[in-house]
Amino acid sequence: MNSAAESLVKLDVEHLLLPVLVQLAVIIAAARLFGAVARRVGQPGVVGEIVAGLLLGPSLLGWLFPEVFATVFRPALEGVPQPLADAMLPKVFTVVAQFGLIFLMFLVGLEFEFDHVRAHGRAAVLISLAGIALPFALGAGLAQLIHPHLEAHPKAGVVSHLGLTLFLGVALSITAIPVLGRIMLELNITRTRLGAITITAAAVDDAIGWIMLASVTAVVKSNFDPLQTLRMVGLTAAFALLMWFVVRPVLVRYFAYSLRAKGGRLGATALAVLLVSVLLASVATNLIGIFAVFGAFLLGAVLSDQTELQRAAHAKLHDLVASFFVPVFFTYTGLRTDITALHGGAMWLICGAVVVAAVIGKLIGCGLAARASGFTWKEAGIIGAMMNARGLMALIAINIGYEMGVIPRSLFCVLVVMALATTVLTTPLLLWLRKGTEIEAPIARSGFLGNTPEAPGLAPIPEGSSADTSKRITTNS
């Protein structure tokens, strides 16, 4: 056993627990504070949580007060070499953050409305494909202009032209289901027709996006295998069929029996069954290679017509997920980003061009596809605005590109700005376009605009209705 491994074996768990507790306390407090500030200025809490991470990280705190930053986020562990400690603690928080993402996507899936999808499934697929094709083309075109201005990658050296082209296209193509789902929950529009169509299109978008990402990674490694991609698609389809025809009937019968026995509440055993089901579904999609959160989302989606289960699961999981796990996910990701790497007039021009291309690609691509599918121009604009939220799914792709050596540090920061900017733009665009559409009343009932959850002049929401369910599950960040 080498000395580094021996130091970890000898490490007292209390010495590891202390910095974790300190960081959790700082992260959760900052996330709630900035989430509240974000809501005061008309943004969803998720934006405040990402900004909190950026401000606590090397972009601000680490730049202005490096000693304070190191004490809180890069602490020494007794007997453990500092490089090993710096690598280990972020992994601890990454695992915690992924749990938050998994449970968030289960709740989003549980709010899925299949009636709208059955009526508009073709439109969702068309919107998704258009929302991938145009941004990818714009990103690939921009790569030709950007490449001469990029510095070498610190580890891989000169950036591959083909690799940059493919990764930039993918980064601009992805819609962030977790961020979009969080925004939709806060605005109370998950069960609207537009909300259901958009989350369906985003799900198709991300599924294709991750397959593209896996394929692009293979190209960069010069190990492209079309059979492997087809295998991934086939396994994903088989898993979806298994969930619908085998897992769903079993869970529906079990939870119906359990909820009757417990008066509509999830008992300890039923909650354990639910948690194990979520985790196993995540394991399955992780093994397939498309991302663990898709399994959690799919499990929620196949159970989305179970109103009593929705209510009971919300009562047990929502507050813990919204106040603990999810803020850790969004805030800690921001902590790992260093915006100070973005400097020089050329890089800021590149940053502006990337943001404009990202916004235009989704608004025009998805908007025109929605209009061609029969939606009004205003509804098409709403769909395009929601599909424009890239958030942290794009950041995951960006990180992969950086690790592969095709995205240097400066462009990494540009793409982080793009992911945050497109997410920030989503809510103002929705609020601007909401007048006279089906999302106007649900947003008014959500309390997001500063009014009470039941806006004056609106009819009471019937208990047990879809609108009532949507109201109950709104995220109060």
State the Cα–Cα distance between residues 139 and 166, nearest whole angstrom.
8
Phi, psi for residue 475 in degrees, rounded to 5: -80, 125
Whether residues 142 and 170 fall in one domain? yes
- Answer whether residue 105 shows pLDDT above 50: yes
- Average pLDDT in the chain: 82
Q: Which of 4-8, 20-24, 107-111, 464-468 has the lowest mean pLDDT?
A: 464-468
State the Cα–Cα distance between residues 100 and 453, nearest whole angstrom.
26
Q: Which of 258-272, 285-299, 310-324 has the lowest mean pLDDT?
A: 285-299
DSSP state of 148: G
Please tell me the predicted confidence (pLDDT) of residue 464: 37
Domain that holds residue 117: 103-449+459-472
Q: Are 265 and 315 in contact (CB under 8 A)?
A: yes
State the Cα–Cα distance between residues 275 and 268, nearest whole angstrom.
11
Please tell me the predicted confidence (pLDDT) of residue 477: 34
**Any idea what the Cα angle at residue 42 is, between residues 41 and 47, rounded to 5°?**
90
pLDDT tens digits along 238-257 = 999 999 999 999 999 999 99
* Residue 73 domain-assigned (yes or no): yes
Among the listed residues 205, 197, 196, 215, the one whose alpha carbon sits nearest the alpha carbon of residue 176: 205
Whether residues 108 and 207 fall in one domain? yes
* Residue 31 domain-assigned (yes or no): yes
Whether residues 183 and 244 fall in one domain? yes
* Residue 405 domain-assigned (yes or no): yes
DSSP state of 77: -
Please tell me the predicted confidence (pLDDT) of residue 458: 34
Task: Among 47, 72, 95, identify where a domain stops.
Answer: 95
pLDDT tens digits along 122-153 = 888 899 999 999 999 999 999 999 988 888 88
Please tell me the predicted confidence (pLDDT) of residue 118: 64
Whether residues 156 and 257 fall in one domain? yes
Whether residues 344 and 279 fall in one domain? yes
* Residue 333 domain-assigned (yes or no): yes
- CATH code for the domain of 309: 1.20.1530.20
Beta bridge partners of 153: 157
* Residue 198 domain-assigned (yes or no): yes
What is the percent of the chain where pLDDT is above 90?
28
Whether residues 319 and 365 fall in one domain? yes
Which pair of tokens denotes residue 168?
């930039």
**Any idea what the Cα angle at residue 81 is, between residues 80 and 87, rounded to 5°?**
95
Helix (H) or strand (E) holding 471: helix 466-472
Please give the tally of structural domains in the chain: 2
Whether residues 60 and 134 fall in one domain? no
DSSP output for 260-284: HHTTT---HHHHHHHHHHHHHHHHH
Q: Are 362 and 136 in contact (CB under 8 A)?
A: no
Burial class (CB in 10 A: 0-12, 13-18, 19+), 95: exposed
State the Cα–Cα distance between residues 292 and 144, nearest whole angstrom.
34
Among the listed residues 365, 369, 360, the one whose alpha carbon sits nearest the alpha carbon of residue 126: 369
Please tell me the predicted confidence (pLDDT) of residue 115: 61
Please tell me the predicted confidence (pLDDT) of residue 410: 81
Q: Are 209 and 202 in contact (CB under 8 A)?
A: no
Q: Which of 30-44, 202-216, 343-357, 443-457 has the lowest mean pLDDT?
A: 443-457
* Residue 317 domain-assigned (yes or no): yes
Among the listed residues 115, 44, 106, the one whose alpha carbon sits nearest the alpha carbon of residue 466: 115
Whether residues 350 and 328 fall in one domain? yes
Average pLDDT over residues 384-393: 82
Among the listed residues 98, 71, 93, the one whose alpha carbon sits nearest the alpha carbon of residue 82: 71
Please tell me the predicted confidence (pLDDT) of residue 356: 95
Please tell me the predicted confidence (pLDDT) of residue 390: 81
Task: Among 95, 111, 140, identify where a domain stops.
Answer: 95
Q: Where are the alpha helices (DSSP H) in 65-154?
A: 66-73, 82-110, 114-146
Q: Are 30 and 56 in contact (CB under 8 A)?
A: yes
pLDDT tens digits along 416-475 = 889 888 988 988 899 899 988 898 888 888 877 766 554 333 333 333 333 343 333 333
Whether residues 213 and 352 fall in one domain? yes
* Residue 122 domain-assigned (yes or no): yes
* Residue 221 domain-assigned (yes or no): yes
- Answer whether residue 382 shows pLDDT above 80: yes
Helix (H) or strand (E) holding 190: none
Higher pLDDT, 167 or 342: 167
Beta bridge partners of 363: none
Task: Among 65, 95, 125, identify where a domain stops.
Answer: 95
Whether residues 60 and 202 fall in one domain? no
Please tell me the predicted confidence (pLDDT) of residue 383: 93
Which pair of tokens denotes residue 359?
């916004």
Whether residues 81 and 107 fall in one domain? no
pTM of the model: 0.72
Q: What type of residue is 421?
A: A
pLDDT tens digits along 26-85 = 999 998 899 889 878 877 677 788 788 888 888 888 888 999 998 998 898 888 888 888
Whether residues 87 and 117 fall in one domain? no
